[in-house]
Amino acid sequence: MSATPFYASPKLLAVSALLAGNAFSMFAQAPAPAQPQLSAETLAIHAKVKRATATSVSTTGSAVSTAGVSSGFNSDQGPGPGPVGPGPGCNLFPAPPSVGSSVGLSYFGPSPSTTNPSLVGPVQLLNTGAVDATHGTITIPLYKGTLKGTKKNVWYILTDVSNQAVAQELGLNFSAKLGFAANAARTGNLDSNGNIVFDAGTVDFSAQRNVVPGPAGQEFPPVSFQPGAIGDKNYSPYVTITNAGGVIYNAPIVAFDVDASQINFPTGNVDYSKVHDQVVAIDPINMTVTLNLINGFSFGRPVWYLSMDASNQIAASIEHNTYAPLMNNLVLGHDDSFASPVERIFIATNGPESGGCDNPLRQGLSADLADGHRPNNVLGGVPTIALDYSPAWDAQLYEWTSDAINRNFRGQLREEFQILTFVDDGLITGPGGAKFGSSGFSINCPIVQRLD
């Protein structure tokens, strides 16, 4: 697939054409779908999916760097830099509580989150493997399924599930909203070993990711783009398990139609023509995969998450993830209304970028395309903060107005209702001055850890 021109006319028309949004929704509390009462026999089928908790691995070569990126970061294959960046604008890891205190760190007791995970302190939410806080990665179990009929190998991971009992059994994130994502999900069955036999859905990882930014200071929207991984029309990371109660898993593909010998990169130096760009290391012998984590915020708290798939090619290109066409079936623009499968993610287009990672207020897509580090997006509810978490994030792009910029009001935003208030105040709008709301595409971003 060749790179597609992003715009050849004023930005408003370009962004409107590509990211055509749905109407902005009201904020009624979303009722969770009723949990299916799975029988003991059905729960036993899901229990076969469980794997030993993965341990961290040492990586070399293409392992995520904390010291910056190459000058070709918009065309580089792979995950890009990790979340432990070279400056405060690219490293959201909280400082220790001893800073500014007259006593040493050893004086402080355990974080309140160790008693109640909703309180202040770090909480790992995806509990199938070890987080490496030094490098900003997580190592989790790798699964090997098959494609029905062809018997082709499908290498995938599991991050979220729509049933709470299954989530607790497997250490996955529970998302009630995934129960409403069936129209954007593949189907499959669990075999006797707890692996999925998928009915459809393939991914081609051979494409060369490439993004050509716009001019300095206006890098977004890009001039052209090309995702590094492209799913067919039947691909979505979500899969309904038809022989086990219709439970829906988030099961992104990380490699397809390859043997173990072709993707055996246990310490890094990954061949990204065969493997998902967010993979730092993959070990098909010990059945583990190490993935890059990404900085973000949820209601003011820094978080780390994964970025695996997107329903839009420009988003997949910028996010270093897989273009997943079937995700376009998700109902967007109705977050927090009945039967919504999504939660909202807020993405600045023209946030502060001057100074790059040295700028503690750095944020947004133009900053991402200018320096290669991630944009510090703002997520809605995640577990321990809210009950309406979904890994399917409805992208809501926003733009600071010229008036706000000229009056030096532009800064880094960290929580949903701060953003919505600034929309109400007229300080930010949709891209190109359009009405703020859904931008018409979604991103599959499973939450991994709350940092405080």
pLDDT class of 37 with cuts at 50, 70, 90:
confident
In a domain, 117, yes or no: yes
- Over pLDDT 70: what percentage of the chain? 89
| CA torsion through residues 434, 437, 438, 443, sign | positive
| Mean per-residue pLDDT of the chain | 91
Distant-in-sequence, close-in-space partners of 110: CB < 8 Å, separation ≥ 6: 121
pLDDT for the residue 152: 98
Dump pLDDT digits (tens) for 6-23.
323 334 334 444 443 333
Calculate the dihedral angle through the C-alpha atoms of 401, 402, 408, 413, rounding to the nearest 10 degrees: 20
Distant-in-sequence, close-in-space partners of 97: CB < 8 Å, separation ≥ 6: 105, 108
CA distance 325 to 45: 29
Token pair 């376009």 is found at: 328
Say if strands 248-250 and 238-241 run parallel, antiparallel, or are unpaired: antiparallel
Q: What is the mean pLDDT of residues 318-332?
A: 98
Q: Which residues of 50-77 are buried (b: 16+ CB within 10 A; e: fewer)?
A: bbeebebbebeebbbbbebbeeebbebb
Q: Which of 18-27, 41-50, 181-190, 354-363 has the lowest mean pLDDT?
A: 18-27
Calculate the dihedral angle through the C-alpha atoms of 217, 218, 219, 220, rounding to the nearest 10 degrees: 140
Structure tokens at 358: 């040295």
Q: Is the pLDDT of residue 87 over 50?
A: yes
Dump pLDDT digits (tens) for 27-36.
233 344 455 6
pLDDT for the residue 148: 98
pLDDT for the residue 65: 43
In a domain, 104, yes or no: no
Token pair 């899901």 is found at: 46
Say if strands 294-298 and 377-379 run parallel, antiparallel, or are unpaired: parallel
Using a 10 angstrom Cβ sphere, with 0-12 exposed, 13-18 middle and 19 or more buried, the burial of residue 216 is exposed
Dump pLDDT digits (tens) for 107-150.
898 999 999 999 999 999 999 999 999 999 999 999 999 999 99
In a domain, 99, yes or no: no
Token pair 């992104």 is found at: 252
In a domain, 2, yes or no: no
Count of C-beta atoms within a 10 Å radius of residue 402:
10
- Return the half-sphere exposure (C-beta side, CA atoms, 13 A cut-off) of residue 204: 12
Calculate the dihedral angle through the C-alpha atoms of 32, 33, 39, 43, rounding to the nearest 10 degrees: -60
Which residues lie across from 4 on neighbouring strands?
Answer: 225
In a domain, 424, yes or no: yes
Q: What is the mean pLDDT of residues 176-194?
A: 98
Which residues lie across from 225 on neighbouring strands?
Answer: 4, 211
> Is 448 within 8 Å of 132 (Cβ atoms)?
no
Which residues lie across from 196 on neighbouring strands?
Answer: 190
Calculate the dihedral angle through the C-alpha atoms of 408, 409, 413, 418, rounding to the nearest 10 degrees: 180
Count of C-beta atoms within a 10 Å radius of residue 406:
9
Cis peptide leading into residue 221 (ω within 30°) = yes
Q: Is the pLDDT of residue 57 over 80?
A: yes
For 261, phi then psi, to 5°, come to -65, -20
- Over pLDDT 90: what percentage of the chain? 87
Dump pLDDT digits (tens) for 161-176.
999 999 999 999 999 9
In a domain, 257, yes or no: yes
pLDDT for the residue 388: 95
pLDDT class of 436 with cuts at 50, 70, 90:
very high
Q: Is the pLDDT of residue 387 over 70?
A: yes
Tell which residue, 60, 83, 64, has the closest CA to residue 374.
83
Structure tokens at 385: 């903060």
Using alpha carbons, list the distances in angstroms from residue 77 to 62, 272, 347.
Answer: 10, 6, 23
**Across the chain, which distance is largest between two alpha carbons, in Å?**
67
In a domain, 101, yes or no: no
Q: What is the mean pLDDT of residues 51-57?
A: 93
pLDDT class of 336 with cuts at 50, 70, 90:
confident
**Structural domain containing residue 432:** 11-63+74-89+113-450
Dump pLDDT digits (tens) for 194-219.
999 999 999 999 999 999 999 999 99
pLDDT for the residue 407: 98
In a domain, 100, yes or no: no
Q: In the chain, count of helices (H) and strands (E)?
A: 7, 29
pLDDT class of 64 with cuts at 50, 70, 90:
low
- Number of domains within the chain: 1
3-class SS of residue 362: coil
pLDDT for the residue 46: 98
